[in-house]
Amino acid sequence: MAEAKKTAKKAPVKKAVVKKTAVVKKPVAKKVAAKVAAPVEKVAAVKEEEVKVAAPAATAAVEKTAPAAAAAVSADSTTEFSFDLQEMLDAGCHFGHKASKWHPKMAPYIYTEKDGIHLFDLPKSAALLEAACKFVYTLGKEGKTLVIVGTKKQARDIVKASATDANCFYMTARWMGGLLTNWPQVSQSIKRMESIKEGLLTDKYKGYTKYERVQLEKEQIKLERFFGGLKGLRQQPDCMLVVDPKKEDIAVQEANSMNVPVLALIDTDSDPRTVSMVIPGNDDAAKSIEYFLNQLAMAYKLGRSHKK
């Protein structure tokens, strides 16, 4: 009798545990799924008006730091550029850095934090990218020079490909200190590089010994490494487009000291006050860098095709 009572007591307890587990797991799963999907749903639900509302803020930021850039943007405001937010998501443009490494001044461009990582507010990023595209379009249309700077490993090939396609200048090797602040000397180095290359392809060094020719080839290779993307640049550039201004801090400092406007693809760990025009987005992932640079290069190329 006692054993029967014990068995009767255990049976309902066992059922209750199973039932409780089933009830608890369901809402937890829904909660986790909702948390993961929240950024995607938020971006998918954004209306066109929200992006347009953010655009004046982008122009206002430019006006505050670079009046000339703001004038260029407003001068060609009729040219429209649009971006698919889902494509930006797929490219990982919304991922920022670890929340522990963020820069407080990037707060206006951050949507939320998930698993210790900041996520960008993509509608704002799209609006600021549109303002930047309008600016580089105007640069191309007016025949002004643009230099794209990206020396980090994952950005080099993308920078070179985008710049070559848009027929603008680029820098993918280590930034040479004084490239802007000591431009006369740098321009001489560029001319020397072009002269040696031309001489080696012709009979200019025909009377030179084999040793002398080898030394010239070595010098040409060294110059090509640092200044190959600047071939044909005859004066200080009119604008710089930088991938990760935190890494390219020397380039940004020189540009600011020489009053050269700086557009920058900037992550959550950088100070946006150092650049003229902010393009908030993931500056580490190759796909994200490629997405942003392709859009900007296309805008510059379009501007050159409509050159005055």
- Give Rg (Cα) of the chain: 27
CA distance linking residue 291 with residue 69, whole number of Å = 23
Write the CB contacts of 280 (distance below 8 Å, at least 6 apart in sequence): 106, 109, 120, 121, 124, 125, 128, 266, 267, 268, 272
In angstroms, rounded to a whole number, what is the distance separating the alpha carbons of residues 109 and 277?
13
- Do 282 and 93 form a contact (C-beta atoms < 8 A)? yes
* Total count of residues recorded for the chain: 308
Look-up: residue for tokens 């545990």?
Answer: 17
Q: How far does Cα 26 stand from its chain's mean position?
A: 40
Widest Cα–Cα separation across the chain: 117
Residue with tokens 């012709």: 202
| Bridge partners, 110 (sequence order) | 120
Q: Report the alpha-carbon distance of residue 280 to residue 44 in Å, rounded.
A: 19
Asked whether 76 and 138 are in contact (CB, 8 A), the reply is yes
User: Where do the domains of the chain lie, and which CATH numbers do they carry?
Assistant: 46-180+236-305 (3.40.50.10490)
CB 129 within 8 A of CB 83: yes
Quick check: 120 and 96 in contact, CB under 8 A? yes
Question: Running along the chain, 308 residues long, what does each successive block of 10 average in pLDDT?
Answer: 46 44 39 41 42 43 44 52 91 92 93 93 94 95 94 94 94 89 90 90 85 91 90 92 95 95 95 95 94 95 86
H-type helices in 79-175, by residue range?
Answer: 85-90, 122-141, 153-166
Site of tokens 């990206």? 150
Question: pTM for this structure?
Answer: 0.74
Sign, CA torsion 249/250/251/257: positive
Residue 243: per-residue pLDDT = 96
Q: Tokens at residue 76, please?
A: 């060609």
Q: Which of 273, 7, 283, 1 is nearest to 149 (CA)?
A: 283
Structure tokens at 117: 């990582």
Query: How confident is the model at residue 203, as a pLDDT?
Result: 81
